[in-house]
């Protein structure tokens, strides 16, 4: 297969793409990825200067409608812990957070901080990769054949100075909208509430979950969709294991069309990598759905979210939508950001 050059436009080609994983050519990830990249590409949709991608689907009216979903005033944090007991194993220098105290109560008791009239304090610092726990992938995080979001050259976007174009700071005041939980783990395996590692979540699974959960889980333009597989809950019971980078349930590559036609603003899962692992090919492949949806579709992806308490709260109420606030830290030029997303029910 001829690889396209950096910045070379690609026209949609071939027949309508199947939502059935059984139709994937498991020997040819290059062709399967390229077909979906071409079919679902949003380059230019919001202008040549766009830095938000599908987050553009969130508008003021959407936020007003989302605010009306607050009935009980219950707030649920969707973040995992940020500490040294996290899942990371050092892959590509991803480590768990290192938290260090620079001033403590002991210092205050001993009066060695140098402050007057008995006042004392505590202070601390943290060092961590921006994608070591609950986080958003920014639009500068993944490239496709040297192309970044909106058809820009990857090297013109992200340099040693950071993401000069689509840095995560642009989304700092954007990611507030209607959240919808699709509890696929609970729907498919009601006894355990968990999907097996390696389970590929299909369009049929997503739509069946919506049908089972009812009208409050119907997905539409500008929504932020949360997909619960139950894997994170399993780690709380059995230990981290290979949660960071190992086998996992997740979205099939064949969900790319659904992600595009629903016009959702963003999507997040409770797994390390969002998509099913191992990936769905017998030939070498790595995170093919990322390659389609981030640089081509402009979709913001969240990973390692804690959806356990939210799943229980939604099931108890029989409603699956809520106000969701999930602002990234405005870290200039970052290609991802840690977050503490909150659902307000």
CATH number at residue 219: 3.50.30.50
- The verdict on 133 and 104 lying in the same domain is no
State the Cα–Cα distance between residues 75 and 343, nearest whole angstrom.
6
Q: Do 243 and 314 reside in the same domain of the chain?
A: yes
Give domain status of residue 15, yes or no. Answer: no
Dump pLDDT digits (tens) for 136-189.
Answer: 999 999 999 999 999 999 999 999 999 999 999 999 999 999 999 999 999 999
- Reply yes or no on whether the pLDDT at 1 is more than 60: no
- Give the residue-averaged pLDDT of 77-106: 95
Report, as an integer, the average pLDDT of 271-284.
97
Does pLDDT of 242 surpass 50? Answer: yes
Same domain, 223 and 306: yes
Can you tell me the distance from the alpha carbon of 329 to that of 79, in angstroms, rounded to the nearest whole number?
14
- Same domain for 238 and 123? no
In a domain, residue 285? The reply is: yes
The pLDDT score that the predictor gives to residue 339 is 98
Partner residues linked to 200 by β-bridges? 250
24 contacts 32 by C-beta, under 8 angstroms: yes
Nearest to 310 by CA among 217, 222, 181: 181
Q: Are residues 256 and 123 in the same domain?
A: no
Looking at the fold, whether 161 and 290 belong to one and the same domain comes out as yes
Tokens read off for 334: 């970052």
In a domain? residue 259: yes
Residue with tokens 């939508």: 321
Q: Which residues contact 343 (CB under 8 A, 6 or more apart)?
A: 75, 76, 78, 179, 310, 313, 322, 323, 324
Residue 9 has pLDDT above 70, yes or no: no
Q: How many domains does the chain have?
A: 2
**Tokens encoding 291:** 């390659």
Closest CA to 303 of 259, 339, 327: 339
How many whole angstroms separate alpha carbon 335 and alpha carbon 296? 16
Q: What are the structure tokens assigned to 282, written together? A: 């017998």
Task: For residue 170, tell me if it sits in a domain.
Answer: yes
Q: What is the pTM of this model?
A: 0.93
Q: Indicate whether 8 belongs to any domain.
A: no
Instruction: Please report the DSSP string for 142-163 in residue order.
Output: --BTTB-GGG-BHHHHEETTEE
Report the interhelical angle of 231-238 vs 308-317 (nearest 10°).
120
Q: With 50 as the cut, is the pLDDT of residue 39 above it?
A: yes
- 171 and 64 housed in the same domain: yes
Determine the pLDDT at residue 13: 42
- Find where tokens 């936020």 sit: 63
Place of tokens 């990769």: 129
Q: Domain residues for 121?
A: 99-127
| Same domain assignment for residues 117 and 57 | no
Rounded CA-CA distance 207/202 in Å is 9
Mean pLDDT confidence for 110-119: 94
Q: Please check whether residues 108 and 136 belong to one and the same domain.
A: no
Residue 16 is predicted with a pLDDT of 81
Q: Which two tokens stand for residue 304?
A: 């390692």
Task: For residues 318 and 240, state if they share a domain.
Answer: yes
Report whether pLDDT(8) > 60: no
Residue 196 pLDDT? 98
Please give the Cα distance from 90 to 268 (Å, whole number): 23
Dihedral sign for Cα atoms in the order 278, 279, 282, 284: negative
Q: pLDDT tens for residues 305-339?
A: 999 999 999 999 999 999 999 999 999 999 999 99
The answer on 291 and 275 residing in a single domain is: yes
Which of 252, 224, 244, 182 shows the shortest CA–CA distance to 325? 224
Task: Show which of 108, 127, 146 is a domain's final residue.
Answer: 127
In-domain check, residue 32: no
Does residue 74 lie within any of the structural domains? yes
For position 3, what pLDDT does the model report? Answer: 38
123 and 135 inside one domain: no
Classify residue 251: in a domain, yes or no: yes
């Amino acid at each position: 297969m001829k690889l396209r050059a950096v910045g070379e436009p690609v026209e949609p080609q071939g027949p309508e793409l199947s939502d059935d994983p059984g139709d994937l050519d498991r020997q040819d990830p290059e062709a399967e990825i390229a077909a979906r990249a071409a079919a679902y590409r949003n380059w230019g949709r919001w202008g040549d200067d766009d830095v938000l991608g599908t987050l553009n689907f969130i508008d003021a009216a959407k936020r007003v409608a989302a605010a009306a979903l607050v009935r009980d005033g219950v707030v649920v944090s969707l973040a995992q812990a940020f500490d040294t007991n996290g899942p990371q194993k050092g892959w590509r220098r991803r480590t768990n957070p290192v938290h260090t105290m620079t001033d403590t109560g002991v210092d205050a008791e001993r009066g060695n901080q140098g402050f007057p009239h008995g006042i004392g304090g505590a202070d601390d610092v943290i060092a961590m990769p921006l994608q070591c726990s609950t986080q958003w992938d920014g639009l500068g995080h993944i490239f496709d054949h040297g192309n970044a979001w909106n058809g820009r050259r990857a090297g013109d976007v992200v340099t040693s100075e950071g993401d000069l174009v689509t840095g995560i700071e642009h989304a700092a005041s954007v990611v507030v909208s209607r959240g919808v939980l699709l509890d696929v783990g609970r729907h498919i395996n009601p006894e355990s509430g968990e999907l097996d590692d390696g389970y590929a979540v299909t369009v049929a699974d997503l739509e069946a979950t919506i049908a089972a959960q009812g009208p409050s889980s119907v997905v539409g333009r500008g929504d932020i969709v949360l997909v619960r597989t139950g894997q994170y809950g399993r780690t709380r019971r059995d230990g981290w294991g290979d949660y960071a980078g190992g086998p996992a349930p997740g979205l099939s590559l064949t969900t790319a069309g659904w992600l595009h036609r629903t016009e959702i603003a963003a999507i997040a899962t409770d797994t390390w990598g969002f998509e099913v692992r191992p990936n769905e090919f017998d030939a070498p492949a790595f995170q093919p759905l990322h390659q389609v949806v981030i640089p081509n579709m402009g979709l913001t992806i969240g990973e390692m979210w804690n959806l356990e308490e939210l799943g229980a709260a939604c099931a108890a109420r029989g409603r699956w939508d809520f106000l969701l606030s999930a602002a990234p830290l405005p870290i200039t030029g970052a290609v991802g950001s840690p977050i503490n997303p909150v659902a307000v029910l």
